[in-house]
Amino acid sequence: MEDLELRLQAVKPRVAIIGAGWAGLAAAIELADAANVVVFEAGRVPGGRARSVELDGMRLDNGQHILIGAYRECLRLMRKVGVDPQQTLAAQPLAWQQIDGISMRCPDWPAPWHLLAGLLVANGLRWRDKLAMLRLLTWLRVRRWQIGQDVAAQRWLQQHGQSERLLQCFWSPLILATLNTPPAQASMQLLANVLRDSLGSSRGEDSRLLLPRVDLGALFAAPAVQWLAAHGGDIRLGKRVTALDLTAQMVDGESFDAIIVATAPYHALRLVNAPALTNLLKAWQYQPITTVYLQFAGRVTLPAVMTGQAQGLGQWWFDREALSGEAGLVSVVISAEGAHDNLTHDALLAQVEQELRRAVPDLPSLLGGRVITERRATFAANVALPRPDVRLPVKSGYLAGDWLCADYPATLEGAVRSGIAAAGALMQDWTTRT
């Protein structure tokens, strides 16, 4: 028996995964039974661009995140590592609640009925705009969400009858929130893919918004690391890989059967010596996301748990007290580059607080605030951006990360799917070879 176990152990590949973001962790979980996995993570905590941070004694997320019901692989892996999405995520039927624009609540019905019902009673839209939006979504649906040659979302939407108001109060905020890219340069095809899997899905729950009730570490990364450790994984936090030899399959002088590089693209460029990849990534751009945390002295009652603002710096306000019980805490998200980049943290805090006070006049006094800007939060989801394959042009070398999932912009779901795809390719190659 022991002999058999030893033999089985011997045929398992020894796999190095560089990066414990959601992509690297997903790959490690997928491989845990079939491989001996070692995960190298430069940071002291896992989670990468979706992690918890300690800032002046406060435990905050590096950025407010939202998931949607269509993030099936994220939800599956969460359950696998023991996280109950029903406890850790506040699920809401699709709603669009702007303080100065459109208010719309869609019931939890399959497409297109939820949107039809939502638009019928939406506030802040003329009938002409409601019809234009319905016409456009029907157009996309009939064409199976394929637009043909990719173009910039803003131009395409204008050409398809969307008014200035619709652009300002609906499409632009949606593009910023989902693609983190200015609408004038964002890919319409990627936006159509996002619409297909959310608004266009026949499963009503796919379009639900899932807002974290716990910090990002507790949502996935920490339980994933615990689960991996319990399943024989070797997780090395605080270990930045500096020397990678893909041909010899060596990571910092240690030998492996296969290697998955699961870092952001700009870090992969430093590690991987592959001219085709370097050429492809040369033209890539990156976009920031800023999260402003405002700590008030008492309860803050926002119009909705997630409230939008069409004009102003703060794009979305989140009621953290309602979500996670953090008394008096509000987080404000500003996606993509803009005027806010030129402000000092103090000036930005003051302006964001002022905007909030204008909309919610009886706000308690402000105790303090923090600004967290992730300068290269995501790659810019530009028009017709070519994406690399998970297989590197070298035996047993693979890539994972949100940038590999060609169907999606940079998202948690894209990251997890890429990790699963890299693990699948690796095991397929390994079983063919052995």
Ligand X SMILES: Cc1cc2nc3c(=O)[nH]c(=O)nc-3n(C[C@H](O)[C@H](O)[C@H](O)COP(=O)(O)OP(=O)(O)OC[C@H]3O[C@@H](n4cnc5c(N)ncnc54)[C@H](O)[C@@H]3O)c2cc1C
Instruction: Say which residues have a Cβ less than 8 Å from residue 87's Cβ, sequence separation at least 6.
Output: 213
| CB-nearer residue toward ligand X: 72 or 160 | 72
Nearest CA to 10 out of 261, 257, 250 is that of: 257
In the complex, what is the shortest distance from the CB of residue 138 to ligand X, in angstroms, rounded to a whole number? Answer: 27
| CB-nearer residue toward ligand X: 16 or 122 | 16
In the complex, what is the shortest distance from the CB of residue 151 to ligand X, in angstroms, rounded to a whole number? Answer: 24
| CB-nearer residue toward ligand X: 59 or 135 | 59
In the complex, what is the shortest distance from the CB of residue 362 to ligand X, in angstroms, rounded to a whole number? Answer: 29
In the complex, what is the shortest distance from the CB of residue 394 to ligand X, in angstroms, rounded to a whole number? Answer: 18
| CB-nearer residue toward ligand X: 163 or 181 | 181
How many angstroms separate the Cα of 379 from the Cα of each of 43, 181, 266, 374?
20, 8, 10, 12
| CB-nearer residue toward ligand X: 49 or 114 | 49
In the complex, what is the shortest distance from the CB of residue 261 to ligand X, in angstroms, rounded to a whole number? Answer: 9
For residue 403, which phi and psi values (nearest 5 degrees)? -75, -10
Nearest CA to 182 out of 41, 288, 36 is that of: 288
For residue 167, which phi and psi values (nearest 5 degrees)? -65, -45
Q: How far apart are CA 383 and CA 359, in angstroms?
A: 36
The amino acid that residue 155 corresponds to is: R
| CB-nearer residue toward ligand X: 140 or 221 | 221
| CB-nearer residue toward ligand X: 109 or 286 | 286
Residues of this chain that bind ligand X (CB under 6 A): 18-24, 40-43, 48-50, 62-63, 65-66, 240-241, 262-264, 267, 271, 289, 291, 374, 377-378, 401-402, 410-413, 415
In the complex, what is the shortest distance from the CB of residue 285 to ligand X, in angstroms, rounded to a whole number? Answer: 15
Question: Which residues sit opposite 306 in a β-bridge?
Answer: 318
| CB-nearer residue toward ligand X: 37 or 119 | 37
The dihedral formed by the CA atoms of 93, 98, 101 and 103, expressed in degrees to the nearest 10: 30
Q: How far apart are CA 71 and CA 411, in angstroms?
A: 9
Q: How many CA atoms lie within 13 A of 55 on its CB side?
A: 14
In the chain, the N- to C-terminal Cα span, in Å, equals 22
In the complex, what is the shortest distance from the CB of residue 218 to ligand X, in angstroms, rounded to a whole number? Answer: 15
In the complex, what is the shortest distance from the CB of residue 240 to ligand X, in angstroms, rounded to a whole number? Answer: 4
Question: Which residues sit opposite 96 in a β-bridge?
Answer: 104
In the complex, what is the shortest distance from the CB of residue 264 to ligand X, in angstroms, rounded to a whole number? Answer: 4
Q: What is the CA radius of gyration of the chain?
A: 22
| CB-nearer residue toward ligand X: 116 or 280 | 280
| CB-nearer residue toward ligand X: 16 or 111 | 16
User: Cβ of 184: how many Cβ atoms within 10 Å?
Assistant: 11
In the complex, what is the shortest distance from the CB of residue 280 to ligand X, in angstroms, rounded to a whole number? Answer: 17
